[in-house]
Structure 1
Amino acid sequence: MLSDEQAFQQVMETYSDYLLRIAYLYVKDWQVAEDIVQDSFLSYYVKFEQFEERASLKTYLVRIVINKCKDYLKSWSYRKQQLTNTFFQTKTDPQKMLQQAERLDIAEAILNLPIPLREVIIHYYYEELSVLEVANLLRISDNTVKTRMRRARQLLKEKLSSDEWEVLANE
């Protein structure tokens, strides 16, 4: 039988990469995503007795990470950083832009979607969850998931060139 510390270590090893990817998709910064995942594991460790197993542990941890990401995106430090980046943003080299692969353009377009639309696209296409699984994870109705996916696809279609859109539509 595993001790609590061993069980916690096993949970961290099992889910840390997955949770890091989820956090990055929300906050678009690897260092902040790492901090959020660490903070999420700390929250889980402190309150692991409260986990009632109504959902899987993975779903529970993802919910903690998503909530912490949303809290971060509402925080003053994030807004201050965004404002600073806007003022000191350097111009991109046209040659670099031409060398970017279509998938990077698609990823950028997805990351620029509003969070409610971005999260359904990410969970559906990249995490390969069903509409019902996405609805349960985000605590919204399946019709809301479908509506958000339709809106996200429309925005992506407007943002992407026809070649890029065909790559995304065929996935």
Structure 2
Amino acid sequence: MQNNNDFGSILDDYGESLLRLAFTYVKSYQTAEDIVQDVFMRAYEKRADFRGEASYKTYLYRMTINRSHDYLRSWHYKNTLLTNRIAETIHRASSTEALIVTKSEEDQLGKKVLELPVKYREVLVLYYYADYTIDEIAEILDCRTTTIKTRLRRARQRMKEKLKAKEVFLNG
């Protein structure tokens, strides 16, 4: 990663996928943008420190995941989460029409994925959306491949249960 032109192409190549990855963690487009911007700034500042032990894409994904985890542990996130829950409760109480509005199937599936715990959500996104292999996901998440296989199996099972429950609710 020697010159600025190379870094510009990396921004173009990976910016959108890193944004989607961060969004799956933080569930806020604006926060995801901030995280990705921070990742690119740090990557640019530390470009000389990149050892090349993994691909640059893997390196950026790992940085994005770490930064997303940092955000989820922060006081700011916990405070925002509490504020949003209070606002959501007030909104639901005042707007029952909003509950009747239906969403597209893709929207519903995306919401169900976002409801999963982070450890399951991240393997689903990396495996199905980012097309990483189990070995690559293990490297990105710094886990054993057996752990990734287990998480992927459990994530699929949870999604199956969530979708089945939704189907029973709609049909029953």
Q: TM-score range by the shorter chain?
A: 0.7 to 0.9
2:112 is aligned with 1:109: yes
Q: Which runs of 5+ in 1 are unaligned?
A: 165-171
Shift of residue 162, structure 1, vs aligned partner: 6.7
Tell me whether 151-160 or 139-148 shows the greater mean CA deviation. 151-160
Counterparts of residues 24-39 of structure 1 (less than 5 Å): 24-39=23-38
Amino acid at match of 1:125: Y
Query: Which residue is 1:43 aligned to?
Result: 42
Q: After the TM superposition, which parts of structure 1 deviate over 3 Å for at least 4 consecutive aligned residues?
A: none
Matched residues in 1 for 2:123 and 2:110: separation? Answer: 14
- Aligned to 1:52, what secondary structure does the other structure show? coil
Amino acid at match of 1:109: K
Percent identical residues: 42
Shift of residue 51, structure 1, vs aligned partner: 0.3
Tell me whether 152-161 or 35-44 shows the greater mean CA deviation. 152-161
Matched residues in 1 for 2:77 and 2:60: separation? Answer: 23
TM-score if structure 2 supplies the norm length?
0.86
Q: Which runs of 5+ in 2 are unaligned?
A: 168-172
Query: Which residue is 1:169 aligned to?
Result: none
Greater relative contact order (CA < 8 Å, ≥ 6 in sequence): 2
- Aligned to 2:143, what secondary structure does the other structure show? coil
- Aligned to 2:64, what secondary structure does the other structure show? helix
Which one of the candidate residues 87, 95, 100 is aligned to 2:100? 95
The count of corresponding residues between Structure 1 and Structure 2 is 161
Amino acid at match of 2:60: L
Matched residues in 2 for 1:8 and 1:128: separation? Answer: 23
2:145 is aligned with 1:146: no
Matched residues in 1 for 2:20 and 2:118: separation? Answer: 15
Matched residues in 2 for 1:10 and 1:121: separation? Answer: 27
TM-score if structure 1 supplies the norm length?
0.87
